[in-house]
Amino acid sequence: MAASPDSPATPRQLAALGRARLAGAGIEPGEAAMDAELLLREALGGWDRARFLAHQDDPATERTGPAFEALIERRARREPISLVLGRREFWGLEFRVTRDVLTPRPETELVVEEALACAATLPRRASVADVGTGSGCLAVSLAIELPAASVLATDVSAAALEVARENAARHGVAGRITFERASLLGGAAGLALVVSNPPYIPTRDIETLPPEVRLHEPRAALDGGPDGLDVVRALLAAASEALMPGGWLVFEFGDGQAQAVQAAVASSPLEMVRIRADLQGIPRTAAVRRP
């Protein structure tokens, strides 16, 4: 990937070259264009979009081209852009991400929205738990939104918990989140609100996922067993014991799983209150309550 040797490349030219490289690697053209611009702005020193548009026809520095090419080559190998950049935005906050955690997705913000709606029915000093915290995106977002709450964040991965701790410190809530290496809820009891984005991909479907997910994200955060709901059923059982009466469990699930999720809740001591669809109309989040 190179511009003319006779004159320094401009950001516009570099972006076009990067876009073509990514499209040639099998990335959808619209995504290739967006990713090329994001990576170029990073190589330019973290330019915002306004600065990029204002100076896209100015000559780039000699360092920009090689730095950009290194980033583009990583993305062309189908490494997720969140890992190339080392960060991802969620709930208006920036989170560090690594190969040890699931990259936060926009649809998971529905869990935060539903959790806040549930929290409005609870005591102000509620105890909250985030099961399988990963990057900490749910725990940190809720700690910020519910400043009187105490938050427990659990994960089976020590490496993931280190990332979550770093993100909590970055956003000034580390002192209000307890991080515990545990499966599900450990020995927690008397909780008012439990949230989770559990693994819910059926095992047989893992190999059909895009390479960005299949090759670069932790399988333990994806694989939900034969029908994708092994962890969901275990979570329902654990929450039944750990929630106080009137307490809430809010969790994400996959496309096509709504009916099975309703059946799993019906077989538990908890009761389904509502299922919410994402912006594409796909049922995505369940709000469940302990009677």
- pLDDT truncated to tens, each residue of the chain (291 aa)? 555 445 579 999 999 999 999 999 999 999 999 999 999 999 999 999 999 999 999 999 999 999 999 999 999 999 999 999 999 999 999 999 999 999 999 999 999 999 999 999 999 899 999 999 999 999 999 999 999 999 999 999 999 999 999 999 999 999 999 999 999 999 899 999 999 999 999 999 999 999 999 999 999 999 999 999 999 999 999 999 999 999 999 999 999 999 999 999 999 999 999 999 999 999 999 999 999
| Amino acid in position 117 | A
Q: Which residues contact 178 (CB under 8 A, 6 or more apart)?
A: 150, 151, 152, 153
Q: First and final CA of the chain: distance in angstroms?
A: 61
pLDDT at 8: 73
The 3-state DSSP composition of the chain as helix, strand, coil percent (nearest 5) reads 45, 20, 35
H helix or E strand, kind and range, residue 129:
strand 127-131
pTM summary value: 0.93
Q: CATH homologous superfamily of domain 87-289? A: Vaccinia Virus protein VP39 (3.40.50.150)
pLDDT at 1: 56
Judged on CB neighbours under 10 Å (0-12, 13-18, 19+), 51 is middle
Residue 79: alpha-carbon gap to chain centroid: 16
pLDDT at 34: 97
Residue 145: alpha-carbon gap to chain centroid: 18
